[in-house]
Amino acid sequence: MTDTFVLKLVLTPLLIAAASLAGRRWGPAVGGWFVGLPLTSGPIALFLALDHGAGFAAAAAVGSLTGALAEAAFCLAYAAVARAGWPRALAAATVTFAIAAALLQRASLAPAAAAVRRSRRWCSRWRSCRAGRRARRPRRRPRGTCPRGW
C-alpha cells in the first residue's frame, strides 16, 4: 500500500511538471500537445487497477473517455458560437457539454469501438484490393508503337 501511495504522490506531479517544462522549452504549441495527453487520467487508471482491480479501472477509463468526448463537444460548440461573444459561447458550450455528457453516459462505447474496428478492417481490405488491381493492370504502350508480332 505504501508503494502505491508514494507512486501516487510522485508520478502525476512529475508528469505535469515535465509537460510544463516542455512547454517552456519548445513553446506553447508543444506545451499544448503535452497538456492534451492523458497525463493525469493515465496514472490514475493505473492506480485504480492496482488498488481495485482491472474491471474497476476499465469502467473508470470508459468514464474518462466519455468525459473527454463531452469536453470535445464543449470545445466545438464554443468555437461555433464564439463570434457572438464569450458569454453566449460559454452558455452554449456548457449546455452542449451537459447534453453530450448525459447522452454519452447512457450510451455504451462498445458498439462504437466495434464499428471503428470494422471500419479499420474494411479500409485495410479495400487498400489491399486496390493494390492488387494496380499490380494486375497491363502496362500502357507508348504512343506510336505497335504490339508484338505486328
Res. 133: pLDDT tops 70? no
What length does the chain have?
150
Residue 69 inside a domain? The answer is no
CA atoms of 112 and 104, how far apart (whole Å): 11
% of the chain beyond a pLDDT of 90: 25
CA atoms of 100 and 65, how far apart (whole Å): 12
Residue 17 inside a domain? The answer is yes
Cell matching residue 140: 500502357
Residue 84 inside a domain? The answer is no
Region 116-130: mean pLDDT is: 60
Which pLDDT does position 101 carry in this prediction? 92
Residue 78 inside a domain? The answer is no
Nearest to 46 by CA among 33, 60, 35, 36: 60
pLDDT band at 2 (very low <50, low <70, confident <90, very high): low
Residue 16 inside a domain? The answer is yes
Which pLDDT does position 115 carry in this prediction? 62
Residue 74 inside a domain? The answer is no
Residue 122 inside a domain? The answer is no
**Residues contacting 130, CB < 8 A, separation 6+:** none
CA atoms of 32 and 19, how far apart (whole Å): 9
Res. 128: pLDDT tops 70? no
CA atoms of 27 and 20, how far apart (whole Å): 10
Measure Cα distances from 5 to 12, 47, 60 in Å: 12, 9, 19
More confident residue, 133 or 54: 54
The structure's pTM equals 0.58
Q: How many domains does the chain have?
A: 1
Among the residue ranges 70-74, 75-79, 132-136, the one predicted with the least confidence is 132-136
- Per the structure, the complete domain to which residue 8 belongs is given by 1-52
pLDDT band at 131 (very low <50, low <70, confident <90, very high): low
